[in-house]
Chain A
Amino acid sequence: MSNLVSFTDKGLYCEAGNFYIDPWQPVERAVITHGHSDHARFGNKFYLCHQFTKPILELRLGPNNYQTAEWNETIFMNGVKISFHPAGHIIGSSQITLEYQNEVWVISGDYKTEDDGISGKFEPIKCNVFITESTFGLPIYKWKPQQEIYNDIINWISKNKENGKSSILIAYSLGKSQRVLQALKETTETIFAHGAIYNMQQNFIDAGWDLNPVVRITPETPKELLKETVVIAPPGAEGTSWMRKFYPYSIGVCSGWMQVRGNARRRNVDAGFALSDHADWNSLLSTIHETGAEKVFVTHGFQSAFSRYLNEKNIAISDEVKTQFGDEDEEANSPLEIKNEEPENI
């Protein structure tokens, strides 16, 4: 097998094509899987991404030299054939396929196999080498069907209403928020949001997405208006004085990490919903099976354990790879949310 992609200290590097995939240090040419900040960083001279990802990068990184592609469109760089395929993780998220000298490599980025209706329907791609994430690569992580979780959230909201409380849902501004908002579309007419969530949602609406708008909470928003409502806020807002306005309230966190009680307990929240934008154990395994890859590199997450499992069970020849992915969105397992959510006025 060739080394079409090598693992360098700047990131995943394709030497034949002379470009990096999701580099963590500035490079000449970057191919980007999706808009989360641990995958799409500042300072590259050139960015190639899916067309849906571009507005996200513009919002977060400002103007740059961007080139976009559509699903399945073919782009050549130094003779390496590149294409983008839905990864189902967030809007625009893509698996990147590289084809060179009769060998196919797929870089998964982050992915989720369940179709959430907005992030694109994940499709497994036949390949020789698959580079997979492993954020939830342990068999304790098996998600309930999303509709069940949505129902749990909706029931929780009505219970809070009965008790005269507002429902504050903690969700990352990029990805989880759009999904939660979509899920609440039918049952909740007006949804309030923190500035970071509002900006992201508005950015998508401006880019032509049919998403439901949210009402931005400002210092002027009267407290009475917020009584018994639904509020979406980023993790950074949790526990800050910003929340006082909604009192009395209940806090619910939407994250795959809520699968384990200890995580919910140390976050000191009222409810945890194990709603994840990443593949669970079973989907990781079924995806690998469907790619037919003989070699699987495992990145960010439980890479040691997952890679060992693949080897022992003869599912594929596997190696773990150290990357600097896993700092944004729920991957961070951000045990206690020490990092800062992006500033409100981006």
Chain B
Amino acid sequence: MNDNVVIEKSNQISGLQMFAELVTELSSSTKTNDKLQSLIDYFATAPDADKVWVIALFSGRRPRRAVNLTLMREWCIGLIQIPDWLFTECHHTVGDFSETLALLLSEIKIQQHQDEDLSYYLEKFISIEKEDESIKKKFIVDSWQQMTPEEKFVFNKLITGSFRIGVSQKTIVNALAKVIDLSPSVIAHRISGNWDPMTTSFNELLSETASVTDFSKPYPFYLAYAIDDKVENLGEPNLWQAEWKWDGIRGQMIKRNNELFVWSRGEELMTDKFPEYFILKDLLPDGVVLDGEIIPAVDGKPLPFSVLQTRIGRKNISKKQLQEAPISFFAYDLLEYNYEDWREKSLSERRNKLEEILFSFQNKSIQLSEKINFDSWNELAATRKKSRDNNSEGIMLKRKDSVYKVGRKRGDWWKWKIDPLTIDCVMVYAAKGSGRRSNLYTDYTFAVKDGNELITFTKAYSGLTDKEFAEIDQFVKRNSLEKFGPVRTVKPELVFEIAFEGIATSNRHKSGVALRFPRMNRWRKDKTVDEINTLDDLKEMLRLYGKY
């Protein structure tokens, strides 16, 4: 009897169950090839509607959060009867909200196993978004009672957002290319841009004859690796074009069908965030796509990234912001001209046409990202040292004959960044990390000296090896006051060299400074707390390098 039930179940595996299995396989396999195979198997067997959603989810398109986390937490606590603080304690240990819920709810017995597809749940999330709390609660609590722990986990993940599974878009694209007869670059282009998984069918999205024209669709970005060899080994300098590497948001500007679209590298449509660009709809020729950097600039000179940060994330931009942080587009490549894909042409050819376009009109909201002239690598190395004066992060090197590739590729394009700024400081607080660092103290706050006091000035999470993190984790556990909640005060003993890309004034931090992209460069086991830098050192750096 029992055996029959099991067989029947495995034959009628639901779409959600398939997806849960896919997620389990992807998160447990350590090799790209295994992940690729899991995806191929999934795309070969899953329902079409589910496939569309999976593509959408893995490329950052997800429905808005239908239920807020506080409510889900309340309902979970109500079901299993634990104190609120204990939920918090569990959450800090697991490091992931959805998984915490799934683990806490693991004992809830399955009444009747669900047999719905992934698309059913995602569409349901959209349809209950505007409903009363009681309807949402009933749907979610009922669902929990019909799911295995693995299904609960993906279900919670789908509701709460951020589904990061460690699969690159490239792997998704390659898996799709194995299952359907299209080249990876065509697929990459098809699944980018503005489409809605609710209303797009798998065939519309990926069939060779797809006829729906989406004028906003961007091209996949070509990304460079950091150069890891001597620059001299790149060969003849005159084969290479050098540009400043700007510290802004990489973006694509599209003018098609008399409309303007601005995409970020994260494939976010950002057109409305930058009213400065609206005028370009009238100035740019139709059917062009530009690659460049979104960056605040005054008189053609870029401002630090921190200035841009004050604007991103805001729905409405004030007049003051428009005045203080006017945005410009530093264009450095041309991907489409006259509705024609130019990516297979050489960089020199694309660059010539780009210059021609940008010289035909003048507006402060767009400018050519200038080339750096150089005759020898030594000369360029000297120029690179001045990067910080231009608010640039270093130099980009691109082969003049290079085509515009898809994704991060070695060989034709390199970034040659300047060395970061560094400061020695001591760790004073530690908090548990999340994801693969769950239940490990990996998130630290650092301080510099000010007389006899320690002044905190930055946090950092990255830059150490797993082994070092493990060692520090042990130190934190042994040298801290026992305390509830995520943060522990640690005996100020461990000294680190923090590297960062820029420094700016800030009223958020006690120290009065904010660092750009801080990370732990080195654990200075050779140094004691007495030898760390002072607040005055930090202020001197602000004076030297902080432009704003």
Any chain B CB within 8 A of the CB of A265?
yes
Could you tell me if B470 and A335 are in contact, using CB atoms closer than 8 angstroms? yes
Please tell me which stretch of B373-381, B390-398, B434-442 contacts chain A, meaning at least 4 of its Cβ atoms lie within 8 angstroms of it: B434-442
Taking a contact as CB atoms closer than 8 A, the residue among A140, A270, A304, A322 that contacts B100 in the complex is A140
Taking a contact as CB atoms closer than 8 A, the residue among B104, B434, B469, B470 that contacts A140 in the complex is B104
Could you tell me if B439 and A263 are in contact, using CB atoms closer than 8 angstroms? yes
* Neighbouring B residues of A262 by C-beta, 8 Å: 94-96, 99, 434-439
Known interface pairs A265-B27, A265-B436, A305-B484. Does A142 touch B107 (Cβ–Cβ under 8 Å)? yes
Any chain B CB within 8 A of the CB of A266?
yes
Q: How far is the CB of B20 from chain A (nearest CB, A)?
A: 13
| Total count of chain A residues near the partner, CB < 8 A | 33
CA distance A262 to B437 in the complex (A): 6
CA distance A336 to B437 in the complex (A): 10
CA distance A97 to B89 in the complex (A): 32
Taking a contact as CB atoms closer than 8 A, the residue among A142, A266, A268, A334 that contacts B437 in the complex is A266
* Neighbouring B residues of A261 by C-beta, 8 Å: 27, 96, 99, 438
Known interface pairs A265-B435, A265-B436, A336-B466. Does A139 touch B104 (Cβ–Cβ under 8 Å)? yes
Any chain A CB within 8 A of the CB of B320?
no
Could you tell me if A138 and B438 are in contact, using CB atoms closer than 8 angstroms? no
Could you tell me if B103 and A264 are in contact, using CB atoms closer than 8 angstroms? no
Bitwise interface map of A from 309 to 346 toward B, beta carbon under 8 Å scored 1, else 0: 10010000000101000000000011111100000000
Could you tell me if B28 and A263 are in contact, using CB atoms closer than 8 angstroms? no
Could you tell me if B90 and A140 are in contact, using CB atoms closer than 8 angstroms? yes
Any chain B CB within 8 A of the CB of A154?
no
Give chain A interface residues in 140-175, CB to chain B under 8 Å. 140-142
Closest to B34 in A: A270
Q: How far is the CB of A65 from chain B (nearest CB, A)?
A: 32
Q: How far is the CB of A206 from chain B (nearest CB, A)?
A: 35
* Neighbouring A residues of B93 by C-beta, 8 Å: 138, 140, 260, 302
Could you tell me if B484 and A304 are in contact, using CB atoms closer than 8 angstroms? yes
Known interface pairs A139-B82, A140-B104, A305-B89. Does A333 touch B439 (Cβ–Cβ under 8 Å)? yes
* Neighbouring B residues of A271 by C-beta, 8 Å: 28
Give chain B interface residues in 79-107, CB to chain A under 8 Å. 80, 82-83, 85-86, 89-90, 93-96, 99-100, 103-104, 106-107
CA distance A243 to B166 in the complex (A): 25
CA distance A249 to B462 in the complex (A): 31
Taking a contact as CB atoms closer than 8 A, the residue among B82, B438, B473 that contacts A260 in the complex is B438
CA distance A304 to B437 in the complex (A): 21
Any chain B CB within 8 A of the CB of A272?
yes
Q: How far is the CB of A240 from chain B (nearest CB, A)?
A: 14
Known interface pairs A333-B439, A335-B470, A335-B473. Does A264 touch B106 (Cβ–Cβ under 8 Å)? no
Could you tell me if B28 and A304 are in contact, using CB atoms closer than 8 angstroms? no
CA distance A322 to B479 in the complex (A): 12
Any chain A CB within 8 A of the CB of B467?
yes
Could you tell me if B467 and A336 are in contact, using CB atoms closer than 8 angstroms? yes
Bitwise interface map of A from 224 to 262 toward B, beta carbon under 8 Å scored 1, else 0: 000000000000000000000000000000000101111
Give chain B interface residues in 480-502, CB to chain A under 8 Å. 482-484
Any chain A CB within 8 A of the CB of B162?
no
Known interface pairs A265-B27, A335-B440. Does A138 touch B473 (Cβ–Cβ under 8 Å)? no
Any chain A CB within 8 A of the CB of B131?
no
* Neighbouring A residues of B470 by C-beta, 8 Å: 334-338
Any chain A CB within 8 A of the CB of B536?
no
- Enumerate chain B interface residues (CB-CB to A < 8 A): 27-30, 80, 82-83, 85-86, 89-90, 93-96, 99-100, 103-104, 106-107, 166, 434-440, 466-467, 469-471, 473-474, 482-484
Ranked nearest first, the 8 interchain pairs of A and B with the lowest CB-CB distance are A262-B438, A336-B470, A266-B436, A140-B103, A265-B436, A338-B470, A305-B89, A140-B90
Supply 13 A–B pairs (Cβ within 8 Å), ascending by A.
Answer: A141-B103, A260-B99, A261-B27, A262-B434, A262-B437, A265-B27, A265-B28, A265-B436, A268-B30, A270-B28, A320-B482, A336-B470, A338-B467
20 additional contacts, CB 8 Å, given A262-B96, A308-B85? A138-B90, A139-B104, A140-B93, A142-B103, A142-B107, A257-B439, A260-B94, A260-B95, A260-B103, A261-B96, A261-B438, A262-B437, A268-B30, A269-B30, A270-B28, A304-B482, A320-B482, A335-B439, A335-B440, A335-B473
